Amino acid sequence: MVRRVGVLVLERVTDSGVSVALDVLRAANALTRRAGQREPFVVEVLSKSGRAVTTGAGLRLGVHGAWSRASRCDVLLVPGCWVETAEEVDALLERDDVKACGLVLQQAARRGAVVGTSCTGAFVMAGAGLLDGHRATTTWWLGAELRRRFPRIDVDESQSLVNEGRLLSAGTVFAMADLALALVTRWGGPTLARRVMKVLLLDAHPSQGPYMVLHQVANDEPQVRAAEAWVRRNLSRPFSVGQLARAVALSPRTLARRLEGSLGVSPIGFVRRIRLETAAQLLETSRLPFDEVARKVGYEDAGTLRRLMRRELGRSPRQVRRTG
């Protein structure tokens, strides 16, 4: 059975969010056609008006038609728009085309279509109420913002792709490839998906954890930034959450609330993420023995750091060093 896929594009859509999805689905069609079989996807790029939109890079993107054609689609994909701050999220969600897109997604979900988004598309999907009570991800630096705005969503920004059946959310821009591959796997099978990955030189990366950089998402919380700076200065020695809280003139409970609100992590998770980020940086940029790296980031037992890297980053120390 052929599946109709509509890629709904907004003004200032991320260029690669659109192109990656199109390339993955086009490759799946080409490989299937060469095998003498029927192509699994018919793909259309649709805008609100049916006219070209301007991408995030300022290019004009032609489309196949208007969102009115979305009603005949089995799948709707919404690539995100590039934003970096909470204020830019505010502006995005206030836009008329974004609100209209949410209504299109609601109608699609009611009739049983599959809806998938990447990056800030998760905010569009969440604003339409489709993610309430579900797991979801978004681009990692906006995870805390999605969690704050939509507390009924189980947000896990460490994941590259969250598949909730008919609702799919992908992480940062290039995670749209993971979402498109999930569609290929669902309707073309895992063998076809692997062939697409090989043809396009795509790697499997189920986690955004290796790419998450803590200090870029501290936003406007001065005491969170102060806590980060204090942890980095004292990284090689043991300290308690109480000591960290006193260093930034907060109670442990208030510190926990600030970290949960701005970053979505506990104080222990906050410190652990800084230790892991620093360890990965040392492995990538130096030839220090792993035991010494562990000591520099506060772990006397190198095995503990090794286990944490596998669990949180999805990679071994050797893999981190090799890709640095």
- Please report, for the chain, the start and end positions of each structural domain, with discontinuous segments joined by +: 3-208, 213-323
Sign of CA dihedral 117, 118, 124, 126: positive
Residues 105-111: what's their mean pLDDT? Answer: 96
Mean pLDDT, the chain, whole residue set: 89
pLDDT value of residue 216: 41
Those residues whose C-beta lies under 8 Å from the C-beta of residue 46, and which sit 6 or more positions away, are 6, 7, 8, 9, 63, 64, 65, 66, 67, 69, 70
Amino acid identity of residue 44, one-letter, is E
pLDDT value of residue 311: 82
CATH of domain 213-323: 1.10.10.60
Closest CA to 52 of 68, 69, 64, 44: 64
User: What tokens appear for 215 in the block?
Assistant: 């200090």
Strand 154-155 vs strand 135-136: parallel, antiparallel, or unpaired? parallel
Place 217 in a pLDDT band, splitting at 50, 70 and 90: very low
Percent of the chain with pLDDT over 70: 94
**pLDDT tens across 152-204, in order?**
999 988 788 898 989 999 988 788 998 999 999 899 988 898 899 889 988 76
Residues 42-64: what's their mean pLDDT? Answer: 97
Range name among 11-15, 61-65, 121-125, 191-195 with the lowest pLDDT average: 191-195
Residue 202 gets which letter from DSSP? P
- Which is higher by pLDDT, 212 or 256? 256
* Alpha helices, DSSP H, located in the chain: 15-34, 86-94, 96-110, 121-127, 143-149, 176-188, 190-200, 222-233, 241-247, 252-263, 267-285, 290-296, 302-308, 317-323
- Which is higher by pLDDT, 128 or 309? 128
Question: What is the gyration radius of the CA atoms in the chain, in angstroms?
Answer: 21
User: Residue 128 above 80 pLDDT?
Assistant: yes
User: What tokens appear for 17 in the block?
Assistant: 């969010």
pLDDT value of residue 220: 53
Q: How far apart are CA 143 and CA 116, in angstroms?
A: 17
User: Residue 282 above 50 pLDDT?
Assistant: yes
User: Residue 17 above 90 pLDDT?
Assistant: yes
Q: How far apart are CA 113 and CA 101, in angstroms?
A: 15
Between the CA of residue 168 and those of 17, 99, 154, 226, 266, what are the distances in Å? 15, 19, 13, 36, 27
User: 3.40.50.970, 1.10.3720.10, 3.40.50.10440, 3.40.50.880: which CATH number matches 3-208?
Assistant: 3.40.50.880
Length of the chain in terms of residues written: 324
Those residues whose C-beta lies under 8 Å from the C-beta of residue 152, and which sit 6 or more positions away, are 131, 132, 133
Using DSSP's 3-state secondary structure scheme, residue 154 falls into strand
